[in-house]
Structure 1
C-alpha cells in the first residue's frame, strides 16, 4: 500500500451536510477529500427522495431534494476538493505525534489511504441497504423487472398499479 496522502479534512458522507462542509472548508482555504459509499453524491436526498420538496433551507421557500444537491454542488465548484464514490471507510486510526499535532489515518475499501488533520463524519443515516422481503428467495432477480428498492424516476410507474411493501410513511413520498 502506498504512503497516505496528507490532507486538511476528510469528510465521510457526500450528502448535503458533507457538501456544505466542503464549502465551509473551502472558505478557509483548506483542501478536502469526500468519501461516500453510494455511487453518486447527494446522500438520501439523491438516492431516496430526489423529488421531495424541502422547505427549511434559509432564504429558499421551497426546492426539491435534487435541486438542493445541485445547488450545493454548484456552490463548492471553486474549491479544492476531490470525491471518492463507491467506497467506504474501513479504518480510522489516530496517529499521535511528538509535537502534539495528532492526525487521522483513514483507509478505504478501495485501498486508498489519507492522513487527515480533521475528519468530519457527515454520514447521516449512514450507508443504507434495502430490507428485502423475508419469504422470497433471491428477490434481487426481479430487480428492474417489477421490483424496485427505491424510486429514482417516477416515469416508469405512471398509470400503473403499484404495491408498496414496507418503508413506513417515507415509502409513500
Structure 2
C-alpha cells in the first residue's frame, strides 16, 4: 500500500503560479506569512510562459520592455528569498472550510493542505493541454508521453540521448524542439506539424530553420495516426500520416506534445463561491470572495472597473495579502512598513542580517 501523501500546514495557499500568483506569494511572504504554491502546469509562469514567452510586454511599471519569460524570471528571483513551497503539475480538486475557519484543500495527486487562507490566482482557469486521441498512447503519459514539459535545464536533461518527436507548430513546440536539438550528443529531434507553416517570433523561426538545415531537426508535415508499445509499456514506434495519405513509421523513445492549452475553470466552480459570467466576485477593498478567507486576484476576478492587466493583478494581490494578514495575525497590525526603510522587511528578503 503506497504511503499517504503529505499534508502541508500553511498560513496561505496560492492557487496559480502565473505573474499574479507569484506576486501574491511575494506579498504574503513579505508580511511574514508562510506560503505554499500549487499550479496545474509543470512550471511557473502561466500564460506568460505558455502563450507569449518571447513576445514583448511593454506596460510593466519600471520596465521599458521585457518578454513573458523574463518577467517570470524576475518575479521568481524576487520571490526566492521568501522560500515558498512549490507543488507544480498538480490541480486543486477539493476545498472545504472547517469549523475553525481554516481550509482543507486537496489535489488530484493526493497532496493536501491545511491553510489559514486561500488565494485563487488562476487567471481564466487552470490551463489544461489539448491531448492526443490516437490508438496506442494509453498509459504512456508522464513516462514517454509529455504534454508541455518544462523548459528548464533539469527537465530537458530527462530527454538526453533519447529519440524524441515534438508535435506542434507554435512557439511552445518550437522552443522545446530547438532547445533539445541544440544539446550536445542529442539524436536528431523529429518535429511534426500538420503543415509546413510554423508560427513564432522571427529569431525562433531562424533557429529552427538553421537546425533543419544541419539535420539536427527533421521536420514532418504530417499527423499522428497510431503508437505502439512493447510488453513493458515502453514507446517503440509511431505511425504518421503524410499529406499524400501514406504512412511513415518513426522509432521513438519519447513524445512531446504542444498542441495548445485550454483554460478550464474546473473544480473552482463547485466551491460555492459567488460568480459573475464565470468570474469570481470579490470585494475590491480586500479581494475576498463571498467565502471569508478565500481571496482572488488576476483575470479570474470581477468587480466594478476591473481591467484585465498584469499590473492591476499586482495591485489586487497586494490588497488581498494585507487583508489576509490582518485576519490571520491581528496582533501584528501596525503602521504600514516600507522595503526602503524597514529592517524587518529587508531581513525577510535577505538584504540584512
Instruction: Find the counterpart in structure 1 of residue 134 from structure 2.
Output: 138
Change (3 A) 1:111 1:62: same
Instruction: Find the counterpart in structure 1 of residue 168 from structure 2.
Output: 148
Instruction: Find the counterpart in structure 2 of residue 57 from structure 1.
Output: 60
* Structure 1: gaps of 5 or more residues: 168-173
Instruction: Find the counterpart in structure 2 of residue 85 from structure 1.
Output: 88
Change (3 A) 1:24 1:149: farther
Tell me if structure 2 keeps the 8 A contact 1:13–1:122: yes
Is 1:6 the equivalent of 2:5?
Answer: no
Of structures 1 and 2, the one scoring higher in RCO (CA 8 A, sep 6+) is 1
Larger radius of gyration: 2
Instruction: Find the counterpart in structure 2 of residue 42 from structure 1.
Output: 45
SS at match of 2:26: helix
SS at match of 1:17: helix
Question: Matches of 1:9 and 1:115 in 2, distance apart?
Answer: 9
SS at match of 1:78: helix
Change (3 A) 1:45 1:105: same
How many residue pairs are counted as aligned between the two chains?
157
Instruction: Find the counterpart in structure 2 of residue 126 from structure 1.
Output: 125
Question: Matches of 2:88 and 2:6 in 1, distance apart?
Answer: 21
Structure 2 length-normalised TM = 0.40
Q: 1:33 aligns with which of 36, 59, 81?
A: 36
Instruction: Find the counterpart in structure 1 of residue 336 from structure 2.
Output: none
Tell me if structure 1 keeps the 8 A contact 2:40–2:128: no
Structure 1 length-normalised TM = 0.77
* Structure 2: gaps of 5 or more residues: 138-146, 148-163, 176-203, 213-218, 222-258, 261-353
Structural RMSD (CA): 3.1
Task: For residue 80 of structure 1, report the CA deviation from its aligned partner.
Answer: 3.4
Task: For residue 114 of structure 1, report the CA deviation from its aligned partner.
Answer: 0.9
Change (3 A) 1:40 1:130: closer
